[in-house]
Chains A and B, each alone.
Chain A
Amino acid sequence: MPLQSRHLLGLDGMRREDIQLILDTAVSFREVLDRPIKKVPTLQGKTIVNMFFENSTRTRLSFELAERRLSADVLGFQSTGSSVSKGETLKDTARNIEAMKVDMVVMRHPASGATHYLSRVIEANVVNAGDGQHEHPTQALLDMYTIRERVGRLEGLHVGILGDISHSRVARSNIFGLLTMGAKVSVCGPATMIPRDIEKLGVSVVHNLDELLPTIDVLNVLRIQLERDAGRLFPTIREYHLSYGVTRRRLDKAGRDITIMHPGPINRDVEISSDVADSEHSVILQQVLNGVAIRMAVLYLLATRN
């Protein structure tokens, strides 16, 4: 059964069977990544363009690697040095690139909804690699894949998401996906970082991390934007770390085996301490590896849908 949509714009409204299909398909691609020759001919002859209007290292490399592992022809740009700086509209940029006969567009853009807009004005399949503060669906898919790999299931688990929920596309996509898959989700952070009415999505809001920890199976720790937020969304980095830093001491006190995740890049000893990031609880590097498999699965399922 193919995916319902010809684009991957977000996990909001995505059917459970579609998420299941992507996670299951990723298992076989994950296996490919363990082979001596890590390449399959699946997307030979397909052209994929990676349009990154925001700086990104991890996600861009992960997509590019996934595309190359599937034998697609790959091109791309990051916004510095592209036509965007010359004042061209997103629509014109995308249409010009599409005119060169590309099959799929992977886009990261600082504006929420930019990929939805793009999917209305071009014909190619669109994959959202992060739109503003809205969604980052492949990140949430790889997070769910990693949880499933580590714990064996998603249904019935209690997942905490910690940090700046207001500005996080990772948080939103995780909330949509995890709830659809039957997990319980709590968001945690200072009140200044919790967006209004988020409980209406079906999540719990907790401000005290030490109360949350003994109740959860997984904790997804978000990156703190140090430069942007200190003094406005929280008083100081020191205070943030005191209240919300994930430390070995905190975890020991919780007395529970909690899987620790982080979408990266991490600020060591701000939102997470080194003795946790590098510990046996942490699956941060598995997330990175699984990301390639998830993106291979998404690209494959979209390209072969028709």
Chain B
Amino acid sequence: MQILLKGGRLIDPVTGRDEAVDFHVVHGRIERMGQNLSAPASQVIDLRGKVVAPGFFDMHVHFREPGFEYKETIESGCAAAAAGGFTGVACMPNTNPPIDDVSVIRFIQARARAALNGLVDVHPIAAVTAGRKGEHLSPLAELAAAGAVGFSDDGDPVHSAEIMRRALEYSAMFDRPVIQHAQDPSMTKGAVMHEGFVATTLGLAGWPDVAEEIMVVRDIRLAEYTGGRYHVAHVSAASSVDHVRKAKARGARVSCEVTPHHFTLTDEVVRSYDTNTKMNPPLRTATDIEAIKEGLKDGTIDAIATDHAPHSFDEKEVEYSAAPFGIVGLETAVGLTLTELFRKNVLSLHEIVRKLSTNPRRILRLPEIRIEEGEMANLTMLDPNAEWVVDPTVFRSRSRNTPFGGRKLTGRPVGVLNNGQMFWGDERLS
């Protein structure tokens, strides 16, 4: 397979390049890069007005396999990732069985290689504790050796300070982060939305921002005490952003991510009682969004990740308190990021590429994507000006639980290229 990508604007934060470059790609390898390339016998793709960037990486997805294949499979999740502009993901361990054993890692890796001929790299995040129960450490070294890129009991926080301390100490030996869903569970029993005026009006049980903050503070101190590496998943509260900023300034080994929904929506949308507004952590306030945008700008927030959480239609078609937490995100993340952050002048395209590719890979110690002749092409292509309307019925994900259906966005992914496989528009080329 030979492909000629013509006229795209290369944005590569690693080398700092920002210029129009043609790519001649042969069997997935970048054969030549330059101006006005021609290569007969190639499929030519016109990328004028489009952006070419190192492949995007979503460090927080739930692919539900094994165990909950009716919500998502690794194959459908990979298709959603490719359609959403991602060439790699890290999948969370709240499967059944959970990813607390090497056999599950191997299973996921095999499934991912078979999905779309390996177009999307799937890296497992293993459970911190056996069964994600918060009591005994998983075989962290063995899991890391098998390919786990980080550890998390995501969905269930590591509640015990002692277990968190030991996990940070132990995982530091092989330089893997402990990723925490920061929530003090004793303060959030039955909670379904942000605690504040809207929850008070709706009579819904509140999840106070301080329940996130105190966990972030505790864990940062444990990371500093142990020298471990700590990553806060999906920060939602202004106060958490502030603590991460101060910790970084002190030199703590701390990083964090934010989801597109947490920088786009506030708890006001819960007034509809639409269960697609129910996620954990919950949507918070305009003040929190401002702080998150500030944190994205000044580098406090390293990465944008989706927390892609598929649930079936029937699971969400219930009264609010009975619905599961979470929304799908892979197929709206890039559009929301370009609309809310690029169009609104919060981040430049370079900074967006850093937060969607370079930084999450660095946090998980994945090799840097090199866009050079002779390297395998791992690229995401974007149209930053395309106007489109989110239509969940065409999602590749097996689930459609999104609050963004019908939303107008500006900017979208147009294709990805990775491992010799290409996804372009509505079709897959190999």
Contacts and interface: CB of A to CB of B under 8 A. Distances in A.
Interface of A: 12, 89-91, 109-114, 116-117, 121, 131-135, 166, 169, 172, 195-198, 200-201
B203 A114 contact: no
8 contacts: A12-B201, A89-B317, A112-B203, A113-B203, A134-B202, A195-B206, A197-B197, A198-B200
Interface string B25-56: 00000000000000000000000000000000
A195 B199 contact: yes
Interface of B: 195-197, 199-206, 208, 273, 314, 317-322
Contacts of B321: 110-113, 132
A196 B195 contact: yes
Nearest to A110: B321
A91 B202 contact: no
Given A91-B318, A111-B322, A117-B319, A197 B202 contact: no
Contacts of B314: 89
A114 B319 contact: yes
A90 B201 contact: no
A282 B195 CA distance: 35
Given A109-B319, A196-B200, 16 more contacts: A12-B201, A89-B318, A90-B318, A91-B317, A110-B321, A111-B319, A111-B320, A112-B204, A117-B318, A134-B202, A134-B204, A169-B203, A172-B201, A195-B206, A196-B199, A197-B200
A134 B319 contact: no
A130 to B, nearest CB: 10
Nearest to B194: A196
A195 B200 contact: yes
Nearest to B195: A196
Contacts of B273: 112-113, 116-117
Nearest to B275: A117
Contacts of A114: 319-320
B319 A133 contact: no
B206 to A, nearest CB: 7
Contacts, number: 71
Contacts of A121: 317
Contact of B197 (A91, A113, A196): A196
Contacts of B322: 90, 111
A111 B318 CA distance: 10
A112 B322 CA distance: 10
A196 B196 contact: yes
Contacts of B319: 90, 109, 111, 113-114, 117
A90 B203 CA distance: 19
A107 B203 CA distance: 17
Q: Which of B200, B202, B203, B206 has the most CB of A within 10 A?
A: B203
Nearest to B198: A197
Q: Which of A12, A91, A111, A113 has the most CB of B within 10 A?
A: A113
A169 B200 CA distance: 11
Contacts of A198: 197, 200
Nearest to B273: A113
Given A111-B319, A111-B321, A135 B200 contact: no
Nearest to B204: A112
Contacts of A111: 319-322
Contact of A197 (B196, B317, B318): B196
A204 to B, nearest CB: 15
A90 B314 CA distance: 11
Contacts of A169: 203
A135 B196 contact: no
Contacts of B201: 12, 172, 201
Contacts of A12: 201
Contacts of A195: 199-200, 206
A137 to B, nearest CB: 12
Contacts of A135: 203
A203 to B, nearest CB: 11
Contacts of A90: 318-319, 322
A134 B200 CA distance: 9
A91 B317 CA distance: 8
Contacts of A197: 196-197, 200
Contacts of A109: 319
B317 A172 contact: no
A72 to B, nearest CB: 26
Contacts of A91: 317-318
Contacts of A133: 203-205
6 tightest A-B contacts by CB?
A134-B203, A113-B273, A133-B203, A197-B197, A111-B319, A195-B200
Q: Which of B199, B273, B317 has the most CB of A within 10 A?
A: B273
A201 B208 CA distance: 19
B195 A117 contact: no
Given A196-B197, A196-B199, A113 B317 contact: no
Q: Which of A89, A90, A112, A116 has the most CB of B within 10 A?
A: A112
A197 B194 CA distance: 12
Given A117-B273, A195-B199, A196-B197, A112 B320 contact: yes
Nearest to B320: A113
A71 B394 CA distance: 51
A169 B202 CA distance: 9
Contacts of B204: 112-113, 132-134
